[in-house]
Amino acid sequence: MSTYLPLFIIAVLAFLIPIISERIGIPAVVGEIICGIIIGGSVLGIFSGEEEGIAFLSRFGFVFLMFLIGLEIDFSHVELHGLRSFILGTLMFLLTFATSIMMVHQLGYGYYLAIILSCSAIGLIVSTLREVGITRSEYGQTIMIFAFIADFAVIMLVTAYTFYLKSGVREKVPFIPLLFLLFFGVYYLGRYLIWRFPEGLSKLFRSDQPSEIGVRASFALMLIFVVLSEALGAEAILGAFLAGVMFSVLFGGGTVLEQKLYGIGYGFLIPIFFINVGMSFNLDGLISGGIHLVPALLLIALIAKIIPSLILAGTYTLKESLLAGVLLSSRLSMVIGMAAVGVELGLIDSRLESAIILLAMITSIICPTIFRRLYGKY
């Protein structure tokens, strides 16, 4: 069998899935996971996900997903709406995290599950707010800030927690600040270059740049942070995420280069990751021992976001506050990626991972749907 045949089939499926998903009204990511389950070992057994090239592209797709998630975090929202939104968002995350810890412990699981259940789905939330037409309203901006803070905090907590648990790397803890020193060093260097050579740097963002130097520079920046993260014993996702945040802080959103990066990521690499997630989905384990976890995880996912969202009741109506909590209960890319990291590090088993993936699929469908329908009527 040709080494390119599995990649060819996955590429064709990645092309067809968004078309089919749009027609039946589910996120493309959910369609990709379902497709992976069907062609994977749980159902047809056509692919295992370990084929030559697929495993690497899937892993790199996950790293690039973390880069794009960092790219989606726009700190200018905090500047525009003041410190109050940032404080409220931080308070809501702390309340969400505390609620998750209390409820997760009742299930007999540790802090890692509580951390990853505290995240949201930035891309899905922004897309939903755009559909409703309130992305530029104060209410929509507040929800986005809350989602940004939650996902940023989850990345930091997952990195710190897994780093602490790894054996043989604790002696490297004093060197971790080097990664953040590099971050600020690149940031100030970038600001100086933008101020000193604005015309030269503008070439990075031209749509007709023949050598695509901007794309090359973006990958180089991401891989610098990824390699340094791994060298220091941290997860590669931290470096990729920080590189994405760096790009967002320096250049903002809406650039031609950003659209090219989204095209590479969501057009090719990231679908391979999500299809591979489906191929490794433990359907038998979920049915035999993990399916009972899904209702409990769904309850935690909703309560941990909806109750803390009541802190908005002083600014918005009770219905708006509750609907914000419902939309923030959406989990998708982040929680699936963090579950994969947890399995890799032995913090959760494959049955729990499958339950988390199913949770992400359910919340990514029902939560935006509820928000769109009820807010539209409101």
How does pLDDT run along the chain (378 residues), one tens digit per residue?
567 888 888 889 889 988 998 888 778 888 888 888 888 877 787 877 677 778 888 889 888 988 888 887 666 665 566 677 788 889 999 999 999 999 998 888 888 999 999 998 877 887 788 778 787 778 888 888 888 889 888 888 887 777 777 655 555 556 667 777 877 888 788 778 777 777 666 666 666 666 777 788 889 889 988 888 888 777 788 888 888 888 887 776 657 778 888 888 888 888 888 888 888 777 777 777 678 888 999 999 999 999 999 998 888 889 999 999 999 999 888 888 888 888 888 888 888 888 898 898 899 889 988 898 888 655
Q: Kindly report the backbone phi and psi dihedral angles of residue 262, in degrees, each rounded to the nearest multiple of 5, phi listed first.
A: -60, -40
Rounded distance between C-alpha atoms, residue 352 and residue 339, angstroms: 8
Rounded distance between C-alpha atoms, residue 109 and residue 293, angstroms: 11
**Residue 323 host element (H or E):** helix 318-328
Where would I find the H helices in 108-137?
111-116, 122-132
Residue 326 confidence (pLDDT): 93
Residue 195 confidence (pLDDT): 75
Where would I find the H helices in 211-291?
213-231, 236-251, 256-264, 270-279, 283-285
Domain ranges of the chain: 73-269+290-377
170 token code pair? 């604790």
Rounded distance between C-alpha atoms, residue 375 and residue 378, angstroms: 5
279 token code pair? 């191929």
Q: Kindly report the backbone phi and psi dihedral angles of residue 258, in degrees, each rounded to the nearest multiple of 5, phi listed first.
A: -60, -40
Residue 254 confidence (pLDDT): 59
Burial of 335 per CB tally in 10 Å (0-12, 13-18, 19+): buried
Rounded distance between C-alpha atoms, residue 67 and residue 69, angstroms: 5
- Dihedral of CA atoms 66, 71, 73, 75 in degrees, nearest 10, equals 140
From 3.90.1720.10, 1.10.15.40, 1.20.1530.20, 3.30.70.270, which CATH number describes the 73-269+290-377 domain? 1.20.1530.20
Residue 259 confidence (pLDDT): 84
In this prediction the pTM is: 0.78
